[in-house]
Amino acid sequence: MTDPSGTGLFNEDKLVIVARILMAAATVDGEYDGSEQDVIENVLKAHVDAPRLPRSVLEALVNFDETVFDLQENVRGLGLTLRGEKRLLMQVVTEVFAADTVFHVGEELFFDQLSDLLALDEADIAKLRAGLQKLPAWKD
Dihedrals φ, ψ of 126, to 5°?
A: -60, -40
Confirm whether 6 is domain-assigned: no
For residue 132, give the nearest of 110, 101, 109 by alpha carbon: 101
Confirm whether 2 is domain-assigned: no
Q: Domain residues for 119? A: 12-132
pLDDT at position 5: 39
pLDDT at position 105: 84
Confirm whether 104 is domain-assigned: yes
Confirm whether 139 is domain-assigned: no
pLDDT at position 138: 52
Question: What's the maximum distance between 2 C-alpha atoms anywhere in the chain?
Answer: 40
For residue 71, the domain's CATH number is 1.10.3680.10
The string of DSSP letters for 32-98 reads --SHHHHHHHHHHHHHSSSSS--HHHHHHHHT--TTT--HHHHHHHHT---HHHHHHHHHHHHHHHG
Per-residue pLDDT band for 7 (boundaries 50, 70, 90) equals: very low
Q: CA of 89: how far to CAs of 25, 32, 37, 117, 134, in Å?
A: 11, 20, 17, 12, 20
Number of domains into which the chain is organized: 1
Confirm whether 59 is domain-assigned: yes
Confirm whether 43 is domain-assigned: yes
Q: What distance in Å separates the CA atoms of residue 48 and residue 6, rounded to the nearest whole number?
A: 7
Lowest mean pLDDT among 39-43, 74-78, 80-84, 130-134: 130-134
Whether the per-residue pLDDT at 1 is higher than 70: the answer is: no
The pTM for the full model equals: 0.87
Give helix 12-27 / helix 83-97 axis angle, nearest 10°: 40
pLDDT in tens, 52-87: 899 999 999 999 999 999 999 999 999 999 999 999
Per-residue pLDDT band for 135 (boundaries 50, 70, 90) equals: low
pLDDT at position 136: 65
